[in-house]
Amino acid sequence: MNIIASNKKSDLEIVLVFNKKLPKTLTKAQTDALALRNYEGEGSCFIGEQFFIGVDNHTYPFPNALRDAVANAIPSIKKLNITTASICVENLQDAKEICEGLLLGNYNFETYKSKKSQSKLKTMHLHSKKIDAKTLQASITKTEHICASINFVRELINTPPAIATPKYIANLAQQKAEQLGIICKIHEEKFLEKEKMGAFLAVAKASVNPPYLVHLIHKPKNTAEKKIPKIVLVGKGLTYDSGGLSLKPSDYMVTMKADKSGACAVLGILEAAAKLKLNAEIHGILGLAENMIGGNAYKPDDILIARNQKSIEVRNTDAEGRLVLADCLSYASDLKPDFLLDLATLTGACVVALGDYSIGVMGYNAKLAESFNKAAFNAGELSATLPFNPYLRKLFNSDVADLCNIPSNRYGSAISAGMFLGEFITEELHQKWLHLDIAGPAYVEKAWGVNPFGATGAGVRAVIEFIQQQIKG
């Protein structure tokens, strides 16, 4: 679907109805037609050449009323025999949210279906009495860049694990980098061995698909005279997680293709940052591996030596994401960033705490966490801080190593997992680091808001907004 700033006449006019207040410009015939259909501003209604969409702006603190209303109407609009439609917008924020509703709500994962859905709708015209066409088009283009990256992330997460192996994603990152003009370094097993990434390597041991560490760099040109923020993003990229020898029950293995959501999100963020030409040095570290079973699999009772030389007792091989991230965060720390963020589908405990739809935000710096929460809210993503608690630190003590990869008590285990990751970040970066647990919103088997069944691209909008705030600030 193309979205353009234009006041051309379209096949269909979409009318937004805020808070059940129908427009005063309606004719008596239109009012009577809506009354006949018992339409009072909730949901959607089609009469003549107009399609009414109800928007409830009073749902607080939910930021997505307009986005979701538009997205929810998309399936009905696509069934109409039209090629163009138009919407009048009041301001740039509404324009942005409408575009997100249209573009994110229009995505479906149909790559492997023999019969794909069809629609004649090709173009959406946005027009405004208050915004000039050039300014409106610039806003549309920016939103299109972000949404295209989100839909790319969704497609990659949804791709089956037999196809989306660590090598597949590494190659895809290389292709993206070449298209975007950014740097891409692909590191194989020998590099991981040289860097002494014993935790990362252990997780990948039993898979026929070798691990990769991908390092992407977006750096604007001609920035020598002005200091720009340096932001490093780390993504958990378990292209499949069987649980290893601590094998998951079969029901829990379904959807484990989504355990790569963090790495996919980081790749999408780098793509969006390059297209938006963000004035920041942004590094993306993807830790790509499969956690499988086999005669050479790492085992409960093993003791691993991580890159920063801390020893880790393994008590559960299904707590593998934190092991991959441990070495990746140690590597990322050496880049000495102004901000370090990791994205990971890390714990089911975070979903228990916050539900399916919110990102868990953790770290040592409460003000930084709150800053991210505000950025996420502005971008239309929900998040909440899970505070670090020093009393939980003792839960991953070990009698035989420096740390244990699972806590001795399941209560608070989303937080203790985050605190475990903090052990692999240099002390000078503690106040600059945030852990984002996206286990809830990354992949849900029921459509919600602007998100279809499956992958959502969680974290992309929030992190892009956070980066933009650092550039302004």
For 192, the enclosing helix (H) or strand (E) is: helix 189-194
190 is catalytic: no
Cα-flanking dihedrals φ and ψ of residue 192, to 5°? -60, -40
Distance CA 84, CA 8 (A): 10
Catalytic residue among 67, 176, 275, 322: 322
- CA gyration radius, the chain: 24
Angle at CA of residue 236, ends 231 and 238, nearest 5°: 155
CA terminus-to-terminus distance, the chain: 35
**Contact yes or no for 94/66 (Cβ under 8 A):** yes
Structure tokens at 125: 């015209």
Structure tokens at 430: 């503690």
322 is catalytic: yes
Chain CA centroid to CA 362, Å:
16
Q: What is the DSSP letter of 32?
A: H
Distance CA 371, CA 365 (A): 10
**Contact yes or no for 336/231 (Cβ under 8 A):** no
Catalytic residue among 78, 79, 248, 299: 248
**Preceding omega of 61 cis (within 30 degrees of 0):** yes
Angle at CA of residue 210, ends 396 and 154, nearest 5°: 80
**Contact yes or no for 285/331 (Cβ under 8 A):** yes
Positions marked active-site = 248, 322
